[in-house]
Amino acid sequence: MAIDYADHADLENLDLSAGINITPLIDVLLVLLVMLIITIPIQLHAVNMELPAGAPPMQTAQPLVVRLDVGADNQIAWDGQPLADRAMLYARLQAAAAWPVPPEIHVRAHANAKYDTVAAVLSAAQRMGLEKIGVVGLEAYAR
């Protein structure tokens, strides 16, 4: 059934389809998917592992915690004992960094403490080589 394009009257009646017929493509893809599913082996094996039997490892001791308080008057306290000046703070931080197990430093600042003082305490602890430094007591200001 050939179409004769010489006759222009037939061109007006010609129903052209610009779309691609994807039905055969979908059929082929579904067949390939079914074949893939059939050929995949079912995993029925299990890995046998010998788990160690014995006592659990010993619990490690709680780390030593040093509490540094910065008061409303910017007075620095080491575990509740006020320090005379920042030189005393630096000396104590340097001594704490030399301990066999360096302590955790918990800095608690009053709401009216100056930012400079709190930042100086944090940076001094970091400069002395202490790695476990944290600011505690912020839950009172959380909204």
Strand order in the sheet with 104-109: 81-82, 76-78, 65-70, 104-109, 133-135
1 belongs to a structural domain: no
pLDDT bucket at 3, cuts 50 / 70 / 90: low
User: What's the structural domain count of the chain?
Assistant: 1
118 belongs to a structural domain: yes
Tens of pLDDT, residues 75-134: 999 999 999 898 999 999 999 999 988 899 999 999 889 999 999 999 999 999 998 999
94 belongs to a structural domain: yes
* CA gap 90, 84 in Å, rounded: 11
36 belongs to a structural domain: no
| pTM confidence score | 0.56
114 belongs to a structural domain: yes
- Give the domain extent around 92: 65-140
The CATH number of whichever domain residue 81 belongs to comes to 3.30.420
131 belongs to a structural domain: yes
